[in-house]
A and B are shown apart, each in its own frame.
Chain A
Amino acid sequence: MTPELALLALLAIALPHAGLVLLCARPPGLRDAVHLICACAAAGLAIYLANAVAQGEHARVVLARPLPNVDLAFAIEPLGVLTALMVAGLGVLHAAHTIGVVRATQERAPARLMAFLALTTAGAFGVALSANLFTLFVSYQVLTLAAFPLVEHEGGEEAGRAGRLFLAVLLTSAIGLFLPAMVWTYAIAGELDFQPGGVLAGRVDALTANILLTLFMFGIAAAALPPMHRWLTGSSHAPLPALVSIQALTVLPAGGVGVLKVAAFVFGPALAEAALAKNAIIALAGAGMCVAALAALSRQDVRERLSYSCLVQALAVIVGALLASPVGFFAAALQIAALSCSAATLTMAVGSIAAITGRTQVGEYAGLGRLMPWTLAGFALACASMIGLPPFAGAWAKLWLIAASAGAGLIWAAVIIGMAAALTFAHLGPLAASALAAPAPSDAHRRPDGASLLLAGPVILGAIATLWLLTVADNLATFLAPIWTPIQ
Chain B
Amino acid sequence: MLDITLNPGFIPLLAALLVLAAPQALRAPLMALSAFSALWLLLDREFGVDASVQQMGLRIVPLELDALNQVFGIGLLIALVVIAAYSSGRKNRFEDCAILVLAGGAVSALFVGDLILFAATAALASFGAAWVVFASPLRQSARAGVRLLVWQGLEGLLFLVGIALHIADNQGVTTIRRLSVGELSGAFIFAALMIRVGAPLAHVWFKDAVAHAAPAGAAAISAFSVMLGVYALARFFPAEALLVPAGAVMVGLGAFYAAAEDDLRAAAAYAQTAQTGIGLTLVGVGSPLALAAVEAHAFTCILAFAALQMSLGNIVERRGEARASGLAGLGQGMPLTTGFLLLSGLACAGFPGLALYPTFAAALEAAAQWETRWLWTLFSCLPAILFVGLCLRASLAAHKRADPAPYAEAPYGMLLGVSLASFFCVALGIAPHWLYNLTPTEMSIDPFALDRVARQFELIGAAGVVFLALRLFGVAPADAPTRLLDMDAVYRGPVAAAGRWAGEVALRALGAAQFGWDQVSGEAGTRLGAWLRRLDRPYVQTWSGPAQLLAIAAAILMALFARPN
Contact = CB atoms under 8 A, between A and B. Distances in A.
A390 B517 contact: no
Given A291-B506, A294-B503, A430 B161 contact: no
A175 interface: no
Interface of A is mostly: helix
A391 B123 contact: yes
Given A187-B562, A399-B167, A388 B160 contact: yes
B156 interface: yes
A406 B188 CA distance: 14
Contact of A389 (B153, B161, B184): B153
B564 A204 contact: yes
A474 interface: yes
Given A187-B560, A433-B130, A473-B56, A390 B165 contact: no
Contact of A396 (B54, B56, B130, B134): B56
A188 B564 contact: yes
A92 B148 CA distance: 37
A429 B134 CA distance: 14
Contacts of B336: none
Interface stretch (A152-160, A236-244, A436-444): A436-444
Interface residues of A, number: 53
Given A298-B507, A437-B146, A439-B142, A400 B164 contact: yes
A439 B160 CA distance: 32
B55 interface: yes
Interface in B92-135: 116, 119-124, 130, 134
Given A402-B160, A411-B184, A422 B56 contact: no
Interface of B: 54-57, 116, 119-124, 130, 134, 141-142, 145-146, 149-150, 153-154, 156-161, 163-165, 167-169, 184, 503, 506-507, 510, 514, 517, 556, 559-564
Nearest to B506: A294
A2 B105 CA distance: 47
Interface of B is mostly: helix
A235 B563 CA distance: 42
Given A294-B506, A411-B184, A434-B142, A429 B149 contact: yes
Contacts of B560: 183, 187
In order of increasing CB-CB distance, the 10 nearest A-B pairs are A402-B164, A406-B168, A391-B120, A437-B134, A390-B123, A407-B168, A403-B164, A418-B161, A437-B142, A403-B167
A430 B168 contact: no
Contacts of A205: 564
Given A183-B559, A473-B56, A406 B169 contact: yes
Contacts of B563: 187-188
A421 B160 contact: yes
21 contacts: A183-B556, A187-B563, A188-B564, A204-B564, A227-B517, A230-B514, A389-B156, A391-B121, A391-B124, A398-B160, A399-B164, A403-B165, A411-B165, A414-B164, A425-B150, A425-B153, A433-B149, A434-B146, A473-B55, A474-B54, A477-B57
Given A295-B510, A389-B157, 4 more contacts: A391-B120, A406-B169, A407-B168, A414-B165
A468 interface: no
Interface of A: 180, 183-184, 187-188, 203-205, 208, 227, 230, 291, 294-295, 297-298, 330, 387-391, 395-396, 398-407, 411, 414-415, 417-418, 421-422, 425, 429-430, 433-434, 436-439, 473-474, 477
Given A187-B560, A390-B123, A399 B163 contact: yes
Contacts of B142: 433-434, 437-439
A421 B57 CA distance: 24
B217 to A, nearest CB: 13
Nearest to A422: B157
Given A187-B560, A402-B165, A477 B146 contact: no
Contacts of A425: 150, 153-154, 157
Given A187-B559, A399-B167, A390 B160 contact: yes
Contacts of B507: 294-295, 298
A429 B164 contact: no
B179 to A, nearest CB: 15
B153 A415 contact: no
Contacts of A180: 559
A388 B157 contact: yes
A439 B136 CA distance: 12
A477 B56 contact: yes
Most chain A Cβ neighbours within 10 Å, of B56, B57, B506: B56
A324 B168 CA distance: 15
A205 B565 CA distance: 9
A430 B120 contact: no
Most chain A Cβ neighbours within 10 Å, of B141, B149, B153, B560: B153
Contacts of A433: 130, 134, 142, 145-146, 149
Contacts of A439: 142
